[in-house]
Amino acid sequence: MRIKKLFIREGTVKRREETQNENFYYACLYDILQRPIQHAEKIAALNHFKAKIVKLHNARRARGQIEQRTQDILQEERMSLFQLIKRRQRGGQREISEMQDWDQGWQTSARDILRVFSEHMRSKYRPIQVDEDSVRTMLETGYGCVPDAWNETLEMPITAEELKAVVLKEKSTNPPEETV
């Protein structure tokens, strides 16, 4: 029990230090952006701290990886050939390897796929050109207005039998009178 508490405490301290380091690196990035220094120096300093942040994230992700190295897996935990094939198939299904662009050409590089996707999203969510006269005409056509001939039918009270038939989901023996 003492060993477990020791590991928990060490893990907590390590996570706290990593968070403090990450916050420090972000503060450095902000300070660099605020300083009036040469553009080339600013880019070099930003890249330096960006690399440190990426390294922290990669180390954190590597610790949390589900896939373990073979020497860490016990004999009972080894994956079967079927499981390995299924894992590879699922990974292949999640990956976009080619995409068709607007000119009906197939794009296979990651950069081109990203470009086609971003063009698609821009065109999908861009503002729509609207003719104001068409909108006025559409609003004046009377959507939501009920013809006068229907008012009499809509104002007729619902009988108890009709209500009972609907509630019990039975067909009414006396259908309501139709007024046309």
**1 vs 161: which has the higher pLDDT:** 161
In a domain, 19, yes or no: yes
In a domain, 22, yes or no: yes
The span from the CA of 171 to the CA of 165, in Å, is: 6
User: Range with the lowest mean pLDDT among 24-33, 69-78, 117-126?
Assistant: 69-78
Report which of 166, 168, 167 is spatially closest to residue 176, judged by C-alpha positions. Answer: 166
Q: Give me the number of domains the chain comprises.
A: 1
Task: Copy the structure tokens of residue 59.
Answer: 């180390």
Across residues 126-134, what is the average pLDDT?
A: 82
In a domain, 78, yes or no: no
pLDDT digits (tens, 9 = 90+) for 1-34: 778 777 788 878 888 888 888 889 888 888 888 8
Instruction: Write out the residue range of the structural domain in which residue 1 sits.
Output: 1-62
